[in-house]
Structure formats: C-alpha cells, structure tokens
C-alpha cells in the first residue's frame, strides 16, 4: 500500500541522519547553542491526501419484478448464489389460460373495430361511390352541352314555345351539374379532423390492450440484468403473483458485488480540495493485504455536525477484485489523493526556514576552508507541495546534498560527537 511506501521512505531518511555536536555558530558570544541533524536530500514520491473512514456498501442493487401476474412455475436460484448477466432466475406462467385467450380475442376484435371506424372517418366514401359521383358530373356536363346545342338550334329554326322549352332545359342542366360537382367535392375533401384525432387515440389504446392481453398469456422468464449475487428470494414455486396494477411484489433482490462503494466522512477543512474523479487509496480493516483504488463519485451538498465538528459525506466507488473476500458492511479507510508527485526531491519540513525578507531557505552542509572542515551555508530554494512531514524541492538543491535541521540544545542529548562546523 502507498502508506507503507511512505513509511519506508521516512525510515530511509532517518537512517541518513547524523548528529552534530553542540557549539556556538559564528564565533560570537551570546549565540544559543544548538544540536543539528544532517539529512540527505533524496528522490521519492509524495502524496498529499485527506482521509476518512466508513463502511463498504453496494453501489448497484435492484429489486426484480415480473411484468405480469400469474403463478411462479420455477425458481432457479437461492439466496447467496452468484449469477452472470442474462442467467435465468425464475419463470411465471398464466393461471387461467382459457380466460386469457378469450381476452386476447376480444382485444383483437376491439382493435379491428377501432381501425374500421378510423378508416371510415379518414375515407368516408368508397372508391365505387366516388366513381359514381365523378360519372354524375360527366353526365351533367354532357346534358348541359346537349341542351346548349339544342337551344342554339331552336333559336334559329324552332318556334317560340320550343325556345322556351330548351331554355328551361339548359337552366335545369346547369343546376344538375352544380349539384353533382358539390357532391363530388364533399366526398373528396370534407373530413372531420377532430373525430379522426379521437379515433386514432382509440386505435392506439386498442393496440396497447391487445399487447397487454398477449403478454398476460405468455410465459414470462426473469433473467439477471447484471452479474452479481442474489441477496434475497421472496417467493416460492407455486406462489401467485398479482398483476402489477394490483400490487407490486419484489421477487428477488440482486446486488452487484463487482462494483462497490465506500462512504467516508471528511472534515469541513479538508472538503474544499475534494472533487469528483479524484483517486483514492482504500484500506479494509479486515483485509489488510487487499490493495484497492477508487474514485470520488459524489460529495454530499449538506453537512453533518457532530460534537461541534462539521463533516461531509464523500462517496468513493471502486472495483472489487475476484475472490477478494470483501463484503458489504466491512470497515475501511480511504485517502483521497489531492496531489501526487513522483520522483521529486524531498526534504523534511523542519529543514525549511525563512530569511529576513520572507524568502524560503535551507541550511546546507558544505565543505569549507581549510579543506576537510564543514560549514553551514544558507541557500534559497523554491518549494512545492508538502504532506506535513516532507516538502518538495523544485529548485535550489541537488540529490544527495545534506541539509541541516537545527534543534534547541536543551531539547537534545547527543550521545556521540558529530561533525565540526567551520568556525572563524
């Protein structure tokens, strides 16, 4: 685990520490004595994280229901069984097949009637009726032409009575033609759109009723929607399941053990740096050798206060290795990684100081004059992130250089002589 690697690096650093003898620095009177520790500048990894604890839970779980009512014919699994996606779990059969077949027949008839009514509304006249209306228009046109011809003839050769007679025939022919055209226009163009809209809805309802009747007649097979573990079986073979419209009966409960989640509580001071997607290192109390890594999936928008301390719930999702032994409810801790540095120069935080101008500096042990003596050099450095114990050095130091950590003399008790500082 990452935490063990950090501990190993710290131990390595401690192994490089030397003790400096106590003596005044600078040769002037009055300076406080101090003992110093020499620590080598090393390369390593630095992880900045915030941590919390909680219990492991299931990220994906579901109650399974039958779509119809009927009798449970077969159950293929038991509580605790692991199932793959698509595995058959249970079968439901209709109870009264004859009654259901009759319901299907009635639904088919109702659909046919609705479709016929819609067709009549959309097409109120048959093709033969329209052809007859068209023929009536043609006949009226022919008779009008004939009457016009006869009127012109009698106007030249006929008597007054004949002229009057054919004038009446022309007028009658015009009226007949207008009536025939009106009838044809009505048959071709006039439809009740409001009625058609209502009839279309009736057809849709009849189709849905037929589909429902047919489903009720079918044998229904329940399959696993995802791979997981059956955590509960609530029915037995032979049990009667009511239709969903009457009552909802959960047949089984399925949980996905391949993807789980950990909910941890983080202090309000730590929460501003936490965002969804951040990597998290997880340790399970009961399985110390199990290495898990997850991602922040959500952060509660509302806090929880306990003994005056404000906490926020952070949900971390992670994949579970096969045969890991991890179970829901186990206690675990998570370190949410805010920043991760690899192969960087590191010094202890205690080595970082500030000069009179507020610049970041460290004290470095260097070779002095005469040759063989040691002197302390104050050197400006550029620092990066810190985990509270070690600080990243971006520039100003090199790997292997020795930095000095000063400790007040009264707080130290060196047991062996150390390096001599160059004194002038």
Range with the poorest average pLDDT among 296-305, 307-316, 330-339, 412-421: 412-421
Secondary structure in 3-state letters for 107-152: HHHHHHHHHHHHHHHHCCCCHHHHHHHHHHHHHHHHHHHHHHHHHH
pLDDT class of 101 with cuts at 50, 70, 90: confident
Of the pLDDT bands very low, low, confident and very high (cuts 50, 70, 90), residue 370 is low
The whole-number pLDDT of residue 340 equals: 83
6 in a structural domain: no
Same domain, 82 and 230: yes
Asked if residue 235 and residue 142 are part of one domain, the reply reads: no
Tell whether 234 and 159 lie within a shared domain.
Answer: no
User: Is the separation of the CB atoms in 419 and 21 below 8 Å?
Assistant: yes
Report which DSSP code applies to 65: -
Question: What is the pLDDT at residue 374?
Answer: 78
**Residue 35 confidence (pLDDT):** 60
Here the CATH number for the domain that contains residue 82 is: 2.40.50.100
The pLDDT of residue 182: 85
Same domain, 230 and 88: yes
Q: Is 283 helix (H, G, I), strand (E, B) or coil?
A: strand
Average pLDDT, integer, range 203-217: 86
As a whole-number percent, the residues of the chain with pLDDT over 90 amount to: 46
CB of 38 closer than 8 Å to CB of 404: yes
pLDDT of residue 372: 66
- The pLDDT of residue 376 is above 90: no
* Number of neighbouring beta carbons within 10 Å of residue 288: 9
| Residue 297 belongs to some domain of the structure | yes
33 occurs within a structural domain: no
Which of 152, 185, 212 finishes a domain? 212
User: pLDDT grade, residue 12 (50/70/90)?
Assistant: very low
Q: pLDDT category, 371, cuts 50, 70, 90?
A: low
pLDDT digits (tens, 9 = 90+) for 28-68: 444 444 467 889 999 998 888 888 999 998 888 999 999 88
Phi, psi (5° rounding) for residue 198? -65, -45
What percent of the chain stands above pLDDT 70?
A: 86
Same domain, 294 and 324: yes
pLDDT band at residue 274 under the 50/70/90 scheme:
very high
Residue 409's CB is within 10 A of a number of other CB atoms, namely 14
Check which CATH number belongs to the domain holding 271 and give it: 2.40.30.170
Please tell me whether residues 287 and 274 are part of one structural domain: yes
**Does residue 151 fall inside a structural domain?**
yes
Mean pLDDT of 83-94: 92
Do 192 and 153 sit in the same domain of this protein?
yes
Residues 129 and 196 in one domain: yes
**Half-sphere exposure of residue 236: CA atoms within 13 angstroms, side-chain side:** 1
What pLDDT does 391 receive? 92
Expressed as residue numbers, the domain containing 317 is: 53-59+256-340
pLDDT band at 119 (very low <50, low <70, confident <90, very high): confident
Residue 283: pLDDT band (50, 70, 90) is: very high
Residue 417 falls inside a structural domain: no
Q: Name the pLDDT band for 74 (thresholds 50, 70, 90).
A: very high
Number of neighbours of residue 410 by Cβ within 10 angstroms = 10
Running DSSP on this structure, what letter comes out for residue 272? Answer: G
Residues 303 and 331 in one domain: yes
- pLDDT given at position 419: 42
Q: How many domains does the chain have?
A: 3
pLDDT at residue 413 is higher than 80: no
Is the residue at 204 inside a domain? yes
Of 340, 360, 375, the residue at which a domain comes to its end is 340
Q: Are residues 70 and 167 in the same domain?
A: no
The pLDDT assigned to 411 comes to 46
Label residue 7 by pLDDT band (50, 70, 90): very low
- The pLDDT value recorded for residue 407 is 62
Residue finishing a domain among 292, 312, 340: 340
What pLDDT does 406 receive? 77
Residue 411 lies in a domain: no
262 and 325 fall within a common domain: yes
Does 8 score more than 70 pLDDT? Answer: no
The span from the CA of 35 to the CA of 24, in Å, is 10
Q: What is the CA radius of gyration of the chain?
A: 47
Q: Is 27 exposed, middle or buried (0-12, 13-18, 19+ CB in 10 A)?
A: exposed
Q: Do 109 and 204 share a domain, yes or no? A: yes
Tell whether 244 is covered by a domain.
Answer: yes
């Amino acid at each position: 685990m990452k935490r063990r690697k950090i501990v190993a690096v710290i131990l390595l650093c401690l192994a490089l520490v030397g003790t400096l003898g106590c003596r005044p620095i600078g040769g002037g009177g009055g300076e406080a004595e101090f003992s110093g520790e020499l620590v080598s500048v090393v390369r390593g990894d630095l992880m900045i994280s915030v941590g919390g604890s909680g219990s492991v839970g299931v990220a994906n779980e579901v109650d399974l229901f039958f779509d119809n009512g009927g009798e449970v014919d077969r159950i293929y699994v038991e509580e605790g069984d692991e199932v793959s996606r698509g595995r058959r779990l249970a079968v439901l059969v209709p109870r009264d097949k004859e009654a259901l077949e009759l319901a299907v027949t009635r639904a088919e008839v109702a659909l046919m009637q609705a479709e016929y009514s819609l067709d009549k509304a959309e097409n109120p006249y048959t093709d033969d009726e329209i052809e007859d209306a068209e023929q009536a228009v043609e006949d009226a046109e022919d008779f009008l032409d004939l009457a016009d011809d006869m009127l012109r003839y009698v106007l030249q050769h006929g008597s007054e009575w004949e002229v009057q007679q054919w004038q009446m025939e022309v007028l009658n022919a015009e009226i007949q033609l207008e009536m025939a055209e009106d009838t044809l226009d009505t048959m071709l163009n006039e439809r009740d759109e409001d009625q058609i809209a209502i009839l279309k809805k009736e057809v849709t309802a009849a189709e849905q009723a037929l589909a429902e009747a047919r489903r009720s007649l079918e044998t229904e097979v329940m399959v696993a929607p995802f791979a997981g573990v059956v955590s509960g079986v609530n029915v037995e073979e032979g049990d009667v399941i009511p239709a969903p419209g009457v009552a909802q009966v959960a047949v089984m409960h399925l949980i996905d053990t391949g993807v789980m989640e950990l909910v941890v509580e983080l202090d309000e001071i730590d929460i501003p740096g936490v965002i969804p997607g951040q990597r998290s290192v997880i340790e399970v109390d009961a399985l110390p050798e199990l290495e898990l890594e997850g991602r922040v999936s959500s952060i509660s928008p509302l806090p929880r206060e306990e003994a005056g301390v404000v906490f926020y719930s952070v949900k971390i999702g992670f994949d579970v290795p096969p045969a890991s032994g991890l179970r829901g409810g186990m206690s675990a801790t998570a370190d949410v990684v805010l920043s991760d540095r690899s192969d960087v120069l590191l010094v202890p935080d205690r080595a970082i100081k500030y000069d009179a101008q507020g610049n970041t500096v460290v004290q470095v042990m260097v070779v002095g004059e005469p040759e063989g003596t040691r002197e302390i050099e104050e050197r400006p450095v550029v620092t990066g992130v810190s985990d509270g114990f070690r600080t990243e050095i971006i520039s100003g130091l090199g790997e292997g250089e020795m930095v000095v950590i000063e400790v007040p003399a009264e707080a130290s008790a060196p047991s062996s002589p150390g390096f001599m500082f160059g004194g002038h």
